[in-house]
Structure formats: C-alpha cells, structure tokens
A and B are shown apart, each in its own frame.
Chain A
C-alpha cells in the first residue's frame, strides 16, 4: 500500500526535517501519527499525499514507485487519497456542499451523480442545515467537518488527516473518529496525525511516532483499567 524506504526531506540547504524514514502500511490498516510539534508529522503527511517530493529515498504508493510515474500520472494517484488538512483549506467562494463535491467534480462526475451523497454526508457530520453556507460563516469545528467530508466523499484508498479533531468538541470528535473507523473497516488505510492522547487510548491503534525527523513504529497505547471504564460507551477498546 504505502512503502517508504530511507526517505529524507530537506527544505533548501537546512537540516533534514525527515531522516531515513522507512515503513510499510498494509491496505485497510489504521495508524496514528504522533510526535511533538516540529517532529515532522506534517512533512511526512505531505510526502504521503504527494504534496512534496522527497529529497532522497524511495516512496511507493498503491504499488507504484513514485519516481517512475510521469507528472500526468500523479493526479490519478492523488484521487485515491483523501486529505484533511490542518488548516482545512476550504475554498472560501464555494459553499460547504460545493467544497465537499469538489473532488468528485474534478474527477469528472456530474452533479446528479453526487448530489445526494454529498448532502447525506454533510448531514451526517451535523451540517445538514449548513449545506449552502460559505466557509467564512462557519465555525472552526464546522469547517473541520466540511474538510473531513471533502476528504472522505471520494471513497479514498488512503485517508490522511492532520489533527482532524483539534477544533471540535469531544462529541463531534468521537463521531468523526467513528467515521474514520467505519471507512477503515471498509478497506481504507487511515493515518491520523494527532496529539490527542484520549483518542489514542479510546481507539488504540498502531502508532507511527516521529521524533526529530526519525520515525519509529510503536504498538497501540496501553489503557489502564480506570480509563477503560471511562470509555465504557465505546466498543473500540480491547477488553
């Protein structure tokens, strides 16, 4: 699915932001990407959503060695990836509905093909009454939900999310995590960059931990009994 082999990233002539990053993610797996601020999480995600070219090393996505793909072939790869950007990156002149529909529109689908799906998804994330609202009129949490809906509407094979629950209240955050888990159950490989230890414990999954540009793969965060009891409403914590 995703294979990084000794990947390094350097901006300009500075030090490497990521050094010798190597890992392999199977299809349909769920991972958290953790690490302190400045550790390189966003840079790693950028490499994964083809927003940046590595300075060295080899990246393979969906069985394609990226270095062998022509520029014209990259958009097809990008369409298989859903991204929730940390700063949302919603287009201010489009409505929530249009923002969510954008990936489908760019992929060449007609309005009639996706209108009910887009409305349904936005309604599910709690924005059924804000379909025609412009991002400037949405709260931070609402923008985030629109961004998430845009990332998942195209049924991506890989979902990348940078702090997707950072601006929403716990209830909405939990609902969003459940949406990601549902996607994951249906075969999407999910990678979520987060600082939220509550989510790491509530939804224990393998962690990709970055520290000063170096990556290590860690097992799910352990949950103590008292915490387990507080998550009693959740079925995700192994008993």
Chain B
C-alpha cells in the first residue's frame, strides 16, 4: 500500500465528522521523530546481560581450551622435531682425554666420535661437557652433594639429517666396535610417550570444546525460550497481523547475534589476558622449566589466530540456536 492508496486514512479525513484535520505542521514532526528502523522487539537488557555474561564465560573457557590445543600441538611439534633430529650415545665413564687434549683423536672417545662422523646421515657430532651433563642431574640431585667420584656417563650428541637419517643398527655396531659398552639412544621411547601424551591432551581439549559448545547451545535455548515467554504478547501480535515465522525469528536473531559477538569478544580478550599472565609468570620460573625434561610451551599472537574466530563461532551458535528455537516454539504453540 502506498500513501496515496490508504483507504481508511483518506476516508477518515474526508468524513464530515472528522474533527481533527491533519495540520501540515504535524507531519514533518512525525517524520523527524519516527524516522529510522522501528525496534519491534522491546529491549531486554536484564536478560541480555545475563546471557552476555554466560556467553563471555563460555568463550573464555573455549579460548583457553583452544589455546591449550594450539600450545600443545606447537610444543609437540617442536619436541618431536628435536627428539627425532638427534640421537645420543652413552658411554661408561672412564678417565678419558677430553676434546682439545693432546692425543684425544686416538683416545676411546675420539675414536667413537670418528666412527660416528664416518656414518652417512650424520650432520654434527658433539661431546657433551661433563659440567653440562652434571647440570642435567641438578633437578634431582643437589649439586652440593654430588661427589666428584660419582660416575657420570659420557654423552655424545649426534645431529642427524631428519630427511635421510642414518641406519641406527649400523651406527650402533660401528660404535660398539670401538667400545662395546656404548649405547645408542635414538629417543624413540620418549618420542612415542610425548606423542601419546600430546594426543591425550588434544582429545581432552577437543572434548572440553565440544562440551562448552553444547552447553552454550543449551543455555541459549533456555534464554531464547525465556525471552519468548517474556515477549509472548509481542510475538502473538506480530503473528496475528501477518508476520512470517522467519520474520519473527529474525527479530530475535538480531539480538542474539549481537550478544554472541559481544560475549565472544569479551571472552577472547579475557583468555588472551590470562595467557599473557601465565606466560609472564612462567617466565619468572624459567629456571625450573628450562631444567625440566620438556621445553616450555610458547604461544605467540600469530599462533593464537584461530582463537580470534571464537566471537564469530559464538555469534553463529547463539544466532542459529535462537532462530531454530523461536521457529520451533512458534510452530508448536501458534496456528
């Protein structure tokens, strides 16, 4: 209907009984004060604040769980890369000459190193200093009580080509021809354990993410139903004057979309703050972490990029859930 076709208004204004003829001065005022989009659904700040808080908390937890997954994945990659690109040779301690001593080349350690260097796939060979080896024991044994007489094995660190690694059996037999007590550790035992551990952590984090998402969906369903119940009058009137179900649903959707986005942003910012705090605190105890067997978990802004999508996911969850809930409730309660 256009303004020139509105029958009742024209009929009314043409009636001889119409007492209040339209004054031209009224219309610009009407246009001014009613311009813009009419908010059909009333504001619901109380309910919205509660839902916003819940969505923010859920997004915070989801972001932390996501950061955990990302961190574990990154760390596992670094750890396994480090483990698979090096092997270690352990030798029973003797009063050997050390690297740099005259005649070292013809000593037991010198011959073992020479045998290793001659193997294809080996990129670098390094004899670990006794002091460094001793430092490895410090987390378990107080350095003040480690006696000088404690036999500490000699360790040789071998950097291998990960793309063309040496034949470990051949390498070990070559070493054993020099020193039958030598042992070759290719770290596969540790590698497998770390991978298993990382997989478990990964699964747990994914499970937590799924639980958080489902919980958010359930909360949004309850919130939508509560809002529908509180706004039943509006919904009924819209329905009875010819609004399509989808049009009613989209009025609710708008509100839930904004709430999801806002809650998501708040949650992610909170999670990033927490991660920064944890990183700062872990930096203060770096002495402990560097001495531990596993290197510290590090997260940078780029690695956390997937977490920045959490507000979008939250908005999608709240919007879609609200839409389907509204449609389902309207269909089941209204003709």
Residues of A in contact with B (beta carbons under 8 Å apart): 49-53, 71-72, 74-76, 78-79, 83, 89, 91-95, 97-98, 101-107, 109, 111-121, 123-126, 128, 131-132, 150, 152-155, 175, 178-179, 182-183, 185-186
Assuming A155-B7, A155-B8, is B40 touching A105 (CB within 8 A)? yes
Partner of B244, one of A50, A72, A101: A72
Is B27 a contact of A89 with CB atoms below 8 Å? Answer: no
Q: Give the tally of cross-chain contacts (CB within 8 A).
A: 156
Residues of B in contact with A (beta carbons under 8 Å apart): 1-3, 5-9, 11-13, 15, 17-23, 26-27, 30-31, 33-36, 38-40, 42-43, 233-234, 236-245, 247, 331, 335
A53 CB contacts on chain B under 8 angstroms:
335
Is B30 a contact of A131 with CB atoms below 8 Å? Answer: yes
Is A154 a contact of B18 with CB atoms below 8 Å? Answer: no
Assuming A109-B1, A178-B15, is B38 touching A115 (CB within 8 A)? no
Is A153 a contact of B245 with CB atoms below 8 Å? Answer: no
Closest chain A CB from B241 CB (angstroms): 5
Q: Complex: how many Å from CA A74 to CA B243?
A: 9
Closest chain A CB from B53 CB (angstroms): 24
Partner of A97, one of B7, B34, B233: B34
A99 — nearest CB in chain B belongs to which residue? Answer: B237
B6 — nearest CB in chain A belongs to which residue? Answer: A117
Q: Complex: how many Å from CA A71 to CA B312?
A: 32
Partner of B11, one of A94, A175, A179: A179
Q: Complex: how many Å from CA A105 to CA B12?
A: 21
Is B30 a contact of A119 with CB atoms below 8 Å? Answer: yes
Q: Complex: how many Å from CA A109 to CA B42?
A: 20
Closest chain A CB from B323 CB (angstroms): 16
Is A117 a contact of B335 with CB atoms below 8 Å? Answer: no
Assuming A52-B335, A131-B30, is B241 touching A155 (CB within 8 A)? no
Closest chain B CB from A44 CB (angstroms): 15
Is B35 a contact of A111 with CB atoms below 8 Å? Answer: yes
Is A153 a contact of B6 with CB atoms below 8 Å? Answer: yes
B37 — nearest CB in chain A belongs to which residue? Answer: A111
A121 — nearest CB in chain B belongs to which residue? Answer: B9
Is B242 a contact of A114 with CB atoms below 8 Å? Answer: no
B331 CB contacts on chain A under 8 angstroms:
71
Is B27 a contact of A106 with CB atoms below 8 Å? Answer: no
B23 CB contacts on chain A under 8 angstroms:
123, 128
Q: Complex: how many Å from CA A71 to CA B247?
A: 14
Q: Name, among B15, B242, B331, the residue most crowded by chain A CB atoms within 10 Å (CB to CB).
A: B242
A150 — nearest CB in chain B belongs to which residue? Answer: B241
A53 — nearest CB in chain B belongs to which residue? Answer: B335
Q: Complex: how many Å from CA A79 to CA B240?
A: 8
Main secondary structure of the interface of A (DSSP, over half): helix
A115 CB contacts on chain B under 8 angstroms:
3, 27, 30-31, 34
Is A101 a contact of B243 with CB atoms below 8 Å? Answer: no
B44 — nearest CB in chain A belongs to which residue? Answer: A93
Is B12 a contact of A132 with CB atoms below 8 Å? Answer: no
Closest chain B CB from A184 CB (angstroms): 10
Is A114 a contact of B241 with CB atoms below 8 Å? Answer: no
Is A114 a contact of B335 with CB atoms below 8 Å? Answer: no
Q: Complex: how many Å from CA A186 to CA B20?
A: 22
Is B233 a contact of A89 with CB atoms below 8 Å? Answer: yes
Closest chain A CB from B7 CB (angstroms): 5
Is A126 a contact of B19 with CB atoms below 8 Å? Answer: yes
Is A75 a contact of B30 with CB atoms below 8 Å? Answer: no
Closest chain B CB from A222 CB (angstroms): 26
A154 — nearest CB in chain B belongs to which residue? Answer: B1
Partner of B22, one of A112, A120, A152: A120
Assuming A117-B6, A119-B30, A153-B9, is B237 touching A101 (CB within 8 A)? no
Chain A to chain B contacts (Cβ below 8 Å), 30 pairs: A50-B335, A52-B335, A71-B331, A74-B335, A78-B242, A89-B233, A89-B236, A91-B42, A93-B43, A94-B40, A102-B238, A103-B241, A106-B40, A107-B1, A112-B31, A113-B2, A117-B6, A119-B22, A119-B27, A124-B22, A131-B33, A152-B8, A153-B6, A153-B9, A154-B1, A179-B8, A179-B11, A183-B7, A185-B11, A186-B7
Closest chain B CB from A152 CB (angstroms): 4
B34 — nearest CB in chain A belongs to which residue? Answer: A97
Task: Kindly list the 7 A-B residue pairs having the minimum CB-CB distance in the complex, ordered from nearest.
Answer: A79-B242, A93-B42, A124-B12, A117-B6, A152-B8, A78-B242, A182-B11
B20 CB contacts on chain A under 8 angstroms:
123-124, 126, 128
Assuming A95-B34, A120-B22, is B3 touching A113 (CB within 8 A)? yes
Q: Complex: how many Å from CA A108 to CA B20?
A: 29
B239 CB contacts on chain A under 8 angstroms:
78
A95 CB contacts on chain B under 8 angstroms:
34
Closest chain B CB from A1 CB (angstroms): 17
Is A75 a contact of B43 with CB atoms below 8 Å? Answer: no
Interface contacts beyond A78-B240, A101-B34, A121-B6: sample of 18 additional A-B pairs, CB < 8 Å, sorted by A = A50-B335, A72-B244, A75-B244, A91-B40, A94-B38, A95-B34, A97-B34, A104-B1, A114-B1, A116-B27, A117-B9, A121-B8, A125-B12, A126-B20, A128-B22, A128-B26, A178-B15, A182-B15
